[in-house]
Amino acid sequence: MKTFKFLKTLGILAILPFALLSCDPDEEPIVEETSPTIDLAVETISFSVVKTSDFVGVATITGSIKNIADNFVSGTGQQKVYLYERSLGTPTDQPGNLVAERSFTNLAAGETLEVSFSRAWNASSPAEGEFPPEYILYIGYDPDIYIDGNEHNDDTNTSNDELLESGMAINDLFR
């Protein structure tokens, strides 16, 4: 029994110097890095009008996206912001006509990006006044962006990547 206690004590004494060496108070603690939270969000579609008469003018449609999380860092051609105009009668499973797009690579936390399109508008015509088009703003990503090995461009919340607004609000600007 004394031999066992002696060996146990000897084992502890043998380990003690290594334990003391690994507990350097000046050594920086090991901190595990966490994955970034990446979330680009469609923020708004806004309208403005420059009137040329009571019911006619030039309407500008502006879409805005915002980075609401950590810095987005990506490669060229991997993402774009698209603005579509969908006229009455276009099936809802189709986006309509692409009227503006903008490529980007990086978007810092809190930074916004805009895309806009201007067109003639007649609030008294059936095509714009009575049945105005809808506008769709969409953030599109390259299909293999999630497997490119870059976690700084993997959007964690795609439910806020699209917004639809009726052009009826443009007609309200003529009132």
Question: pTM for the whole thing?
Answer: 0.80
Instruction: Indicate whether 80 belongs to any domain.
Output: yes
Higher pLDDT pick, 1 / 158: 158
Instruction: Indicate whether 88 belongs to any domain.
Output: yes
Instruction: Indicate whether 31 belongs to any domain.
Output: no
Number of domains in the chain: 1
Per-residue pLDDT tens for 58-111?
999 999 999 999 999 999 999 999 999 999 999 999 999 999 999 999 999 999
What CATH number corresponds to the domain at position 163? 2.60.40
Within 8 A by CB and 6+ apart from 84, the residues are 95, 96, 97, 98, 99, 135, 136, 137, 138
Encoded amino acid at 108, one letter: A
pLDDT of 11 above 60: no
Per-residue pLDDT tens for 15-50?
545 444 455 666 676 766 789 999 999 999 999 999
Domain of 69, in residue numbers? 40-172
Instruction: Indicate whether 19 belongs to any domain.
Output: no
Residues 21 and 123: their CA atoms lie apart, in Å, by 80
Instruction: Indicate whether 115 belongs to any domain.
Output: yes
Instruction: Indicate whether 87 belongs to any domain.
Output: yes
CA of residue 155 relative to chain centroid, distance: 6
The alpha carbon torsion through 112, 113, 119, 124 (nearest 10 deg) reads -30
